[in-house]
Amino acid sequence: MTLSGCRVGVILTGVVCAWASGLGDAQNASPAQVIKNRVTHFHQIGDAFKGIRDQLRTSDPAVPAVQEFARRIECLGAQIPTWFPPGTGAAAQREDRHSVSSGLSSGDSGKDDHKTRAKDEIWTQRSAFEEAHKRFLAEAQKMSQVAKSGDKAALATQYKVLGQACKNCHNTFRE
Ligand code: HEC
């Protein structure tokens, strides 16, 4: 796995991740495509998070691996709000499927594998959603910092705190 495409730079508030820039097409993409892309990216975040967990379960965690995973979570995680443009919730997905089945769109096949779990609250309570994201991003950044320090006890603690910040958003904004 190479993460070389992930460039870190400071623009306004934080980290910019070129690695996730494929989502920049979101404006032209169908809701089905936007949903598919974001679920894929969340799975990448999830895999990186599990990667840290797996290292922490070993008797001698590989700190460089943890650093890479943390960087990936931070990089991708910084983009989360951009993955939810208006009109990409469950209702839009249903409409999209309807038009696919009536032959009006060349979008997704309508299979259930990317059925969105995004709740409408993401759009109706946008500022709370952004708050949950900010809280998460602060912990993801801290995870990266702790990973650089290589302090294994601190890593285990921060891993838990980060997991709670994921959950905090999921509790309100994910089905
Ligand atoms: C600001 C909100 C937010 C944060 C923070 C967040 N998630 Fe999520 N996550 C979501 C939403 C919303 C979805 C559902 C997306 C969809 O289905 O369209 C999701 C989906 C996922 C998925 C895809 C599979 C599934 O069960 O839907 C995984 C895996 C995941 N998140 C893991 C994580 C992990 C691990 C973290 C923390 C390191 C995290 N998320 C942080 C909101 C968030």
* 28-80+88-96+119-173 belongs to CATH 3.30.1960.10: no
Domain spans of the chain?
Answer: 28-80+88-96+119-173
What's the whole-model pTM score?
A: 0.85
**Residue from 166, 168, 171 to probe ligand 1 pocket by mutation (most atoms less than 8 Å from CB):** 166
pLDDT single digits (tens) 18-76:
555 455 555 678 898 999 999 999 999 999 999 999 999 999 999 999 999 999 999 99
pLDDT single digits (tens) 105-147:
444 444 555 789 999 999 999 999 999 999 999 999 999 999 9
Residue ID of nearest Cα to ligand 1 atom 27: 117
Pairwise CA distance, residues 5 & 2, whole Å: 8
